[in-house]
């Protein structure tokens, strides 16, 4: 994957920031998102409009 070079008036992309495609809310991944914990995944929802932003798989360690 190639990236185009930034122009002088552009800021570099923010790392670890999620954006809501419906309302434009943005926050760091550890920010104000509503996180619903499920047995196998975490579901991130927008605090402004309740849109599901991310479904992140949880890895559960099995102790022997």
DSSP 29: T
pLDDT digits (tens, 9 = 90+) for 20-44: 999 999 999 899 999 999 999 999 9
pLDDT digits (tens, 9 = 90+) for 43-52: 999 999 999 9
Q: Of 12, 27, 14, 3, nearest to 35 (Cα)?
A: 27
Whether the per-residue pLDDT at 55 is higher than 90: the answer is yes
Q: Which two tokens stand for residue 7?
A: 């122009």
């Amino acid at each position: 994957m190639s990236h185009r070079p930034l122009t002088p008036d552009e800021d570099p992309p923010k790392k670890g920031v999620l954006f809501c495609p419906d309302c434009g809310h943005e926050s760091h991944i550890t920010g104000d998102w509503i996180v619903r914990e499920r047995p196998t995944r975490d579901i991130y929802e927008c605090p402004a409009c309740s849109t599901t932003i991310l479904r992140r798989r949880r890895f559960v360690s099995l102790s022997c």
